[in-house]
Structure 1
Amino acid sequence: MSVGLLGLLDDVTALAKVAAASIDDVAGQAAKAGLKAAGAVIDDTAVTPNYVTGFSADRELPIVWRIAVGSIRNKLLILLPAALALSFFAPWLITPLLMIGGAYLCYEGAEKVFEAIFPHEAHAHEAEALPQPADPGKLEEERVAGAIQTDFILSAEIMTIALAALPDLPFWEQALVLVIVAFGITAAVYGAVALIVKADDFGLALASKGRTGVGRATGRGILIAMPWVMQTLSIVGTAAMIWVGGGIVIHGLAGFGFDQIEHLIEAIAHGAEEMLPALGGFIEGLATILADLVLGLALGLVLIPVAGKLIGPAWKAIRGLFPRKAEA
């Protein structure tokens, strides 16, 4: 009896170890998949604060919350089932979709670079394309809807990148990892956004009502630093977007047999490492990132006129086939 009990306990212990290892593997895979999507995540964090600009302070956090709820809905109700169906029925489509998403990231990043170089043209285009309603309630609804639409595109890229990082996992583990990625990334992005949009209010309150000189000075420092923080975040987000998009497209081309660009980048990276052996793998990785960044920017700049002259008019024509009902 005791031998049987010990054997049962051994079996239970072994099952527990297997379960623990599986949980650890899922957590590790979720972290890995989340890191793969870093470029889109940074861009999501950099873009979202713009949607609360111009609203009163008491509406900022409710707007961020509404966008976050819409983001979770995008990921769990639409993108997660689509990603799992894709993995199960048509895994061969993952790479082409990733490449399309990567090209979109390059285009978005290159467009931001263009706007930074030619701001007057960009502002005139935005004023013409996106007229702002006078009613604050309607403006909030349109801003939230626009943010959720933008989030859908970025979330689709995040979930596809995450899925591509999980090719060897069983179906249920893929589903669990994607759920963890969806909640984790949404919490990280919109938690950071909430802190960013309220940082200036906190700094103002601290600067005006702080009980000590150090506290008031800290508040003034926050107020001075926040514009620089936002600008830095925007630059980092744009660079990350172009880098990740360029890397996705280059790797996808290699998967289809067009590996000349990838081999060229590898040769450049190895050459950089040989020139600066003291920096080792760091300089090799940096050279790879810079090469992906340059090629991604070049691709994005090429896509700007394509989007403006072909894709944009085609999309408007399609939307024109389904006119909205006139408002009462």
Structure 2
Amino acid sequence: MSTGLIALLDDISLIAKAAAASIDDVGVAAAKAGSKAAGVVIDDAAVTPTYVTEFTPDRELPIIWKIAKGSLKNKLLFLLPGALLLSEFLPFVITPLLMLGGLFLCYEGAEKIMEKLGGDKHGATLEDPITDPAAFEEERVSGAVRTDLILSAEIMAIALAEIANTPVVERGLVLALVGVVITAVVYGAVALIVKMDDIGLHLAEKPGAAAQKIGRGLLLAMPKVLTFLSVVGTGAMLWVGGGIILHGLHEMGVHGPSDVAHAIQHAVEQVSGGAGAVLGWLTYAVASAVVGLVLGAAVALGLHSGQKLLGKAH
């Protein structure tokens, strides 16, 4: 074998080893970045089931699949290239953009609460008669994908912060991997949640007493679970939105609001003993949600007042 061919094979071997090491680095970085985004992942999983409640069982999984595809499109076609470009050329605009997204989440969460409390409804809801099921389904999917865009942006931003100093190609691979894995985890969990009643019915029809008992328990629990998730989903919008704004203000040099929230958190941690970490985290989440509710309600009232004024003008 000629020395030239041996040298070529040696070069190929080195390239393969470098590629394998690079792939391993991407996997480690993706795991690290994904773990940092776990809080937002939980919020995403809590929010999404609210968009498929009370639809007929045969439409639940197709709706979740539509939302999942929209989520992947958000992450891979819009957020991934946008994050890479902004991190390379305009890193200072990432925080303001995230804050605008957070404000939108606050608005959506506050409007849901206002409607539940008897305020005017804006857009079709599940309590209204549905004259066009296909159009109503598309509206719900569009709403879920819009909300997912904000939550996905926060996930990608958290992941990006963990890998900011890596080469741009590795950064892109990590963000893509995080986006795909988190989408699969979130919407797999959502599909399992919304199909709990079908699983319960299947078990209830089994001959074994234990299976029947578990099945009946799932059937009885499912309405309460969906109601609970609806409440958690609305709270998550306010919590994540308010948290984004508090963090963004801190990053922009306005430390007062986040300092107050963290001071309350630390005070609760100090007096809570062994449960301090959990109760402190919960305290900060509640403080963020309160901030989100106040800001979201202000935006909602402003928009509704503006719409009424425009209606009168016309």
Short-chain TM bin: 0.7 to 0.9
Pairwise CA distance, 1:242: 1.8
Correspondent of 2:203 among 206, 218, 236? 206
1:39–1:241 contact (8 Å) kept in structure 2: no
Q: Distance in 1 between matches of 2:274 and 2:68?
A: 45
Q: After superposition, where does 1:183-222 map in structure 2 within 5 Å?
A: 183-207=180-204, 209-222=205-218
Alignment-derived partner of residue 83 in structure 2: 83
Match of 1:267 in 2: 263
- Would the aligned equivalents of 1:39 and 1:243 in 2 still touch at CA under 8 Å? no
Structure 1 unaligned blocks of 5 or more: 1-7, 317-328
AA partner of residue 83 (structure 2)? A
Aligned residues: 302
Q: Partner of 1:200: helix, strand, or coil?
A: helix
Structure 2 residue runs without a partner (length 5+):
1-10
The one of 237, 240, 245 aligned to 1:244: 240
Residues 41-60 of structure 1: matches in 2 within 5 Å?
A: 41-50=44-53, 53-55=54-56, 57-60=57-60
CA RMSD for the aligned pairs?
Answer: 3.7
CA–CA distance in structure 2, aligned partners of residues 292 and 132 of structure 1: 35
Matched, 1:233 2:234: no
Q: Give how far 1:96 is off.
A: 0.5
Structure 1 residue matching 2:195: 3-state secondary structure: helix
SS in 2 for 1:211: coil
**Identity of counterpart residues, as a percentage?**
44
* Pair 247,58 (structure 1): closer, same or farther in 2 beyond 3 Å: closer
Q: Which residue of 2 aligns with 1:171?
A: 168
Alignment of 1:28-39 (within 5 A): 28-38=31-41
Alignment-derived partner of residue 3 in structure 2: none
Preserved CA contact (<8 Å) 1:34 1:181: no
Q: Distance in 2 between matches of 1:305 and 1:37?
A: 27
User: Which stretch of the first structure deviates more once superposed, 292-301 or 215-224?
Assistant: 292-301
The 3-state SS of whatever aligns with 1:168 is coil
| Residue among 292, 295, 298 paired with 1:299 | 295
Cα shift at 1:232: 1.7
List per-residue Cα deviations over 1:121-147 (Å, max 9, x = no partner): 45x54449x987645555555554554
The aligned amino acid for 1:201 is D
- Is the contact between residue 32 and residue 165 of structure 1 (CA under 8 Å) also seen in structure 2? no
Aligned equivalent of 1:94: 94
TM-score, normalised to structure 1, is: 0.76
Q: Verify: 1:180 aligned to 2:177, yes or no.
A: yes
User: Is the contact between residue 266 and residue 288 of structure 1 (CA under 8 Å) also seen in structure 2?
Assistant: yes
Which shifted more, 164-173 or 97-106? 164-173
Q: Distance in 2 between matches of 1:193 and 1:21?
A: 30
Between the aligned partners of 1:165 and 1:309, the Cα distance in structure 2 is: 42
Would the aligned equivalents of 1:43 and 1:241 in 2 still touch at CA under 8 Å? no
* Separation in 2, partners of 1:17, 1:111: 50
In the TM superposition, 1:14-29 aligns within 5 A as 19=22, 22-29=25-32
Seen in structure 2, the aligned counterparts of structure 1 residues 161 and 39 have a Cα distance that, compared at 3 Å, is farther
The answer to whether the 8 A contact 1:254-1:262 is kept is yes
The alignment partner of 1:85 has SS state of helix
Aligned to 1:325: none
TM-score after normalising by structure 2:
0.78
- Greater shift in the superposed pair: 281-290 or 95-104: 281-290
- What is the alpha-carbon distance in structure 2 between the residues aligned to residue 139 and residue 294 of structure 1? 31
Cα distance change, pair 164–46 in 1 and its aligned pair in 2 (3 A): farther
Query: Cα–Cα, structure 1 residues 171 and 307, in superposed 2: closer, same or farther, change >3 Å?
Result: farther
Report the Cα distance in structure 1 between the residues aligned to 2:282 and 2:251, rounded to whole angstroms.
Answer: 23
- Evaluate the alpha carbon distance shift between residue 272 and residue 148 of structure 1 in structure 2; reply closer, same or farther with a 3 A threshold: closer
Distance 1:133 1:220, change over 3 A: closer
Check whether the contact 1:104–1:245 (CA below 8 A) recurs between aligned residues.
yes
